[in-house]
A = this chain, B = another copy of it.
Amino acid sequence: MAATKLAIGNAQDGSTSSPPAGLTTVLVIGAGLIGTSVALAISRQGVKVHLRDTDPSAALAAQALGAGTVEQPREPVDLAVVAVAPAQMATELAAAQAAGAARAYTDVSSVKEAVEQASSDAGCDMSSYLGGHPMAGRERSGPWAAKPGLFEGRPWIITPTRATSAVTERLVRELIALCGAVPVVMAADAHDRAMALVSHTPHLISALTAARLEHLGQTEMMLVGQGLQDVVRISGGDPRLWADILVSNAGAVAGVLGEIALDLQRVTSALLAVASSCPSMLAQAWEEATVSLLDILGRGRAGHDRLPGKHGSPRQSFAEVHVVVGDNSGALARLLADVSAAGVNVEDIVLDHAMGTPRGTVSLQVSSAASATLPEALQALGWKAYGPLTELHRRNGGHPQ
């Protein structure tokens, strides 16, 4: 999740004073990372929280952390938060409603349409239920990893339907406000398609890549770089939980997988043509494979560049100008004064000062237009300044890890 704070939906002042009128008691069903973090966040705000888990030691751990009490409520609470895996949600919701556990109910499942459908099929009262999905998490799971600040400034999707009662929505919005999160209203199916694209399918793709490493040898292990580590990091997640999520969002995930399979088939065919080409056809096969790869890699980079960057700006509109400077803090100040006098706005600065060398590089991120003129302007002032590398160098001189 990008660090950027959002300001969408109902504005929240993040106050930490007395609990709001409506929400004074909450039952958290499922004392995992999310359930316990919710409990910690609202307990601090004065809400009375009851904790329940199929594993008593999880609920006891959450209680020991100060998230609430494992004593069960004697009267219906204001809101029950069902924080279990998607496949169990409808069953837990139906049981809680049958027991009259709360005035209103919400969940935290990362799949919404299947969970809503299953709840409706299970005969749940859909007026007192509002689907929710807080966009926050950690690599570590379980109550031990819970943090009261986990949701601060994060989007918390809610998926109201025509059946949702006003009081249910008000109580859930109070919960979100107490957690410091930002409510975002979406339709359940739009939420699920988006999650298939940005979370569920990437997880499966990461696992498909990692599955190839099952029999990795010692020598091959030495060749592993940070790139692979990043691609497969999330494949370390719990297979059972993720299988549940993926099946619960089967249609949307299959749609994205189908698109990936088309690209994959195209590029595999092009590479096989190169590998099996007779010498006289090699140049043509090579050229065709290059065109196919450039298309996919180019679209990949375009997608990559859509993601929130450091300043949330589209990166492609900037370029870097590099200046070699001595080991002298006054030089940076003089350089920036000269850049400013040249009328150029600096978006970002990277200092790259290699240990043990007397010189380093200052890389200035400026507009593409400025990157064309700034090097010459700085050279005229005596700086060793260089613009972005030419396409010729990029083709000939680069070398990746």
Contact = CB atoms under 8 A, between A and B. Distances in A.
Contact of A247 (B213, B274, B401): B274
17 contacts: A31-B397, A33-B398, A58-B397, A64-B324, A84-B399, A85-B396, A88-B395, A109-B399, A148-B357, A221-B306, A230-B231, A239-B293, A239-B301, A241-B400, A247-B286, A254-B268, A254-B271
B260 A264 contact: yes
A100 interface: no
A272 B195 CA distance: 17
B53 A393 contact: yes
Interface residues of A, number: 166
Nearest to A390: B55
A387 B60 CA distance: 12
B211 A198 contact: no
Contacts of A191: 223
Contact of A214 (B149, B265, B290, B302): B302
A122 interface: no
A220 to B, nearest CB: 4
A257 interface: yes
User: Lowest 7 A-B CB distances belong to which pairs?
Assistant: A137-B401, A207-B300, A213-B303, A251-B275, A55-B393, A239-B297, A250-B274
A30 interface: yes
A226 interface: yes
Given A58-B393, A198-B213, A227-B234, A243 B207 contact: no
Contact of A268 (B223, B261, B356): B261
A372 interface: no
A401 B1 contact: yes
Nearest to A232: B304
B397 A202 contact: no
A349 interface: no
Contact of A234 (B35, B88, B231, B271): B231
A281 interface: no
Contacts of A265: 261
Nearest to A292: B243
A242 interface: yes
Contacts of A280: none
Interface stretch (A123-131, A334-342, A358-366): A358-366
A15 B294 CA distance: 44
A202 B209 contact: yes
Interface in A185-228: 186, 190-191, 194-195, 197-199, 201-214, 216-217, 219-228
A296 interface: yes
Interface stretch (A70-78, A139-147, A163-171): A139-147
A310 interface: no
A386 B60 contact: yes
Contacts of A155: 222-223
A240 interface: yes
